[in-house]
Amino acid sequence: MRTPSQPFSSWSALLCALGVLFSLFSLGVAVKENDFKKCDQSGFCKRNRAYADKAIAQGSSWQAPYKISPTEATFKDGVFHATILKTVDDKGTTVELPLTVSFHKSGTARVNVDEKQRQEKNIELRHNSQARKERYNEAEKWAIVGGTTVDADAKVSYSGDSGIKIQYGPNSAFEADIKFNPYSIEFKRDGSAQLKLNDRGLMNLEHWRPKVEPPPAEEKKEGEEGTEKKEEPVVEPEPVGEDESTWWDESFGGNTDSKPRGPESVALDITFFGYDHVYGIPEHAGPLSLKETRGGDGAYTEPYRLYNSDVFEYILDSPMTLYGAIPLMQAHRKDSTVAVFWLSAAETWIDITKAKESSNPLSLGKGPKTNTHTHWISEAGVMDLFVFLGPTPQDINKAYGELTGTTAMPQEFSVGYHQCRWNYVSDDDVKEVDRKMDRHQIPYDVIWLDIEYTEEKKYFTWDSDMFKDPISMGQQLDAHGRQLVVIIDPHIKNTGSYSVIDELKANGLAVKNKEGNDFDGWCWPGSSMWVDCFSPSAVKWWKSLFKYSKFKGTMENTWLWNDMNEPSVFNGPEVTMPKDNLHYGSWEHRDVHNINGMTFHNATYEALKSRKKGELRRPFVLTRSFYSGSQRVGAMWTGDNQANWEHLGASIPMILNQGVSGFPFAGADVGGFFGNPEAELQSRWYQAGAFYPFFRGHAHIDSRRREPYLLAEPYRDIVTSALRLRYSLMPSWYTAFHQAHQDGSPILRPMYWTHPSSEGGFGIDNQFFVGSTGILVKPVVEQGKTSEDVYIPDDEVYYNYFTYQKLSTVSGKTLTVDAPIESIPILMRGGHIFPRRDTPRRSVKLMRFDDYTLVVVVSKDGTAEGTLYADDGDSFEYQKGEYIHRTFKLEGSKLTSTDAEGRDAKAIKEGDWLKNMRNVAIDKIIVVGAPVSWADKKEVQLEAGGKQSTVKLEYFKGDANRGPFAIVGRVGARVGADWSIDFA
Instruction: For residue 135, give the nearest of 121, 124, 154, 146 by alpha carbon.
Output: 121
Residue 397 near residue 337, CB atoms below 8 Å: no
Mean pLDDT of the chain: 94
Question: 97 - beta bridge partners?
Answer: 84
Residue 967 near residue 954, CB atoms below 8 Å: yes
Specify whether 114 is catalytic: no
Alpha carbon of residue 150 to chain centroid: 28
Residue 122 has a CB neighbour count (10 Å cut-off) of 10
Which residue type does 75 have?
Answer: F
Instruction: For residue 744, give the nearest of 665, 831, 825, 639 by alpha carbon.
Output: 665
* C-alpha to C-alpha distances, 848 to 212, 247, 728, 923, nearest whole angstrom: 70, 60, 12, 15
CA–CA separation, 106 and 108 (whole Å): 6
pTM above the 0.75 mark? yes
Quote the percentage of the chain above a pLDDT of 90: 90
Contacts (Cβ under 8 Å, ≥6 apart) of 802: 823, 826
Mean pLDDT for the stretch of residues 831-840: 98
Task: Write out pLDDT tens, residues 888-934.
Answer: 999 999 999 999 999 988 888 999 999 999 999 999 999 999 999 99
CA–CA separation, 119 and 765 (whole Å): 44
User: What is the band of 215 on the pLDDT scale with cuts at 50, 70, 90?
Assistant: confident
Catalytic residue, chosen from 463, 563, 788, 871, is: 563
| DSSP type of residue 233 | P
CA–CA separation, 965 and 856 (whole Å): 10
Specify whether 640 is catalytic: yes
CA–CA separation, 315 and 32 (whole Å): 8
CA–CA separation, 933 and 862 (whole Å): 12
Which residue type does 801 have?
Answer: Y
Residue 163 near residue 176, CB atoms below 8 Å: no
Mean pLDDT for the stretch of residues 452-481: 98
Q: Is the peptide bond before 182 cis (omega within 30 degrees of 0)?
A: yes
Mean pLDDT for the stretch of residues 874-894: 97
Catalytic residue, chosen from 276, 384, 395, 566, is: 566
Q: State the greatest distance between any 2 C-alpha atoms of the chain, in Å, as a whole number.
A: 120
Mean pLDDT for the stretch of residues 560-578: 98
pLDDT at residue 29 in the model: 39
Instruction: For residue 443, give the nearest of 693, 634, 697 by alpha carbon.
Output: 697
Contacts (Cβ under 8 Å, ≥6 apart) of 31: none
Exposure of 775 by Cβ count < 10 A (0-12 exposed, 13-18 middle, 19+ buried)?
buried
Specify whether 818 is catalytic: no
CA–CA separation, 268 and 383 (whole Å): 9
pLDDT at residue 212 in the model: 85
Instruction: For residue 36, give the nearest of 311, 294, 292, 301 by alpha carbon.
Output: 311
Q: Is the pLDDT of residue 25 over 50?
A: no
CA–CA separation, 664 and 656 (whole Å): 8
Residue 81 near residue 99, CB atoms below 8 Å: yes
Task: Count Cβ neighbours within 10 Å for each residue of 383-421 and write b for 16 or more, e otherwise.
Answer: bbbbbbbbbebbbbbbbbbbbbbbbbbbbbbbbbbbbbb
User: What is the band of 243 on the pLDDT scale with cuts at 50, 70, 90?
Assistant: confident
Q: Is the pLDDT of residue 310 over 60?
A: yes
User: What is the band of 739 on the pLDDT scale with cuts at 50, 70, 90?
Assistant: very high
Alpha carbon of residue 605 to chain centroid: 17
Mean pLDDT for the stretch of residues 285-306: 97
Residue 832 near residue 927, CB atoms below 8 Å: no
Where does 122-195 have alpha helices with state H?
Answer: 139-143
Q: Is the pLDDT of residue 225 over 60?
A: no
Task: Write out pLDDT tens, residues 45-55.
Answer: 999 999 999 99
H or E segment and range at residue 332: strand 328-333
CA–CA separation, 672 and 682 (whole Å): 9
Catalytic residue, chosen from 115, 134, 640, 871, is: 640
Which residue type does 667 have?
Answer: G
Residue 813 near residue 759, CB atoms below 8 Å: no
The two beta strands, 798-800 and 826-829, are antiparallel
Least confident of 16-25, 49-58, 59-68, 458-467: 16-25
pLDDT at residue 33 in the model: 78
Least confident of 338-342, 368-372, 770-774: 368-372
CA–CA separation, 686 and 682 (whole Å): 6
pLDDT at residue 213 in the model: 76
pLDDT at residue 241 in the model: 64
User: What is the band of 366 on the pLDDT scale with cuts at 50, 70, 90?
Assistant: low
- Measure CA of the first residue to CA of the last residue in the chain; give whole Å: 59
CA–CA separation, 450 and 281 (whole Å): 29
If you average pLDDT over each of 204-213, 371-380, 959-968, which comes out highest? 371-380
pLDDT at residue 356 in the model: 92
Task: Write out pLDDT tens, residues 245-285.
Answer: 899 999 998 999 999 999 999 999 999 999 999 999 999 99
CA–CA separation, 824 and 384 (whole Å): 45
